Amino acid sequence: MERLVIIGAGGLAREVVSLVDAINAETPKFDLLGALDDGSPNEERWNAIGVALLGSVSMMKDLDAKFVIAIGDGKIRRKIARALVDDGCRPATLLHPNLQTGRLVRIGAGSVVAGNVSITTNVTVGDHVIINPGCTIGHDVEISDFVTLMPQVSVSGDTFLEEAATLGVNSVVLQSLRIGESAFLGAGAVAVRDVAGGTIAVGVPARSR
């Protein structure tokens, strides 16, 4: 089994613990050592799931284990991932057993794909991407590194999501659009045109603030 450490100890990290449990229930793969966090996680909630809180992220380089970053902000994931890789640490990729994929689907190192996700065909998912439960991704989509898809996001075909973009809960991206680097598409928003990098777009149709 591969030894695994989760970076982060918030709500998303607790969900990732459940994802690891689901993976291991199907085929034992990961020995979860615990989590590392530089912040002040809710210890009562964390301790309730019975997983060790090991200390600060700087300890990762001394552990013989792979890591996965369970932090929702893609820009923060990018900073942590690059530092850990520079220290020689290796990322793990977590895919829920009920993930549905078609042909020519590629998912990068360090990415996390939760349950009830559908990815159709000719889709590239970059490194350290987080795809939350219930997302659907159409044909010929490119998802760059450090992108975050919140629950129930729908991405139509021929779409390009640039690095560290975030798509909010229940948001929709229509066909053949580009969501720019570090852009944020708000919860329930429907993108009917490109969203420029670094902007926030909300509403139906989505408009940049």
Note the pLDDT tens digit of each residue in 124-175. 999 999 999 999 999 999 999 999 999 999 999 999 999 999 999 999 999 9
| Residues 100, 181 share a domain | yes
| Residues 116, 38 share a domain | no
Is residue 101 one of the residues assigned to a domain?
Answer: yes
| Domain range enclosing 53 | 2-92
| Residues 73, 19 share a domain | yes
Mean pLDDT of the chain: 97
| Residues 146, 120 share a domain | yes
β-sheet bridge partners, residue 30: 2
| Residues 105, 156 share a domain | yes
At a CB cut-off of 8 Å and minimum separation 6, what does 70 contact?
6, 7, 8, 10, 12, 13, 15, 16, 35, 112, 130
State the pTM of this model. Answer: 0.96
In angstroms and rounded to an integer, the radius of gyration of the C-alpha atoms of the chain is 17
| Residues 83, 45 share a domain | yes
CA atoms within 13 A on the CB side of 40: 0
Q: Is 209 exposed, middle or buried (0-12, 13-18, 19+ CB in 10 A)?
A: exposed
Of 68, 92, 116, the last residue of a domain is: 92
Q: How many domains does the chain have?
A: 2
User: What pLDDT score does 20 carry?
Assistant: 98
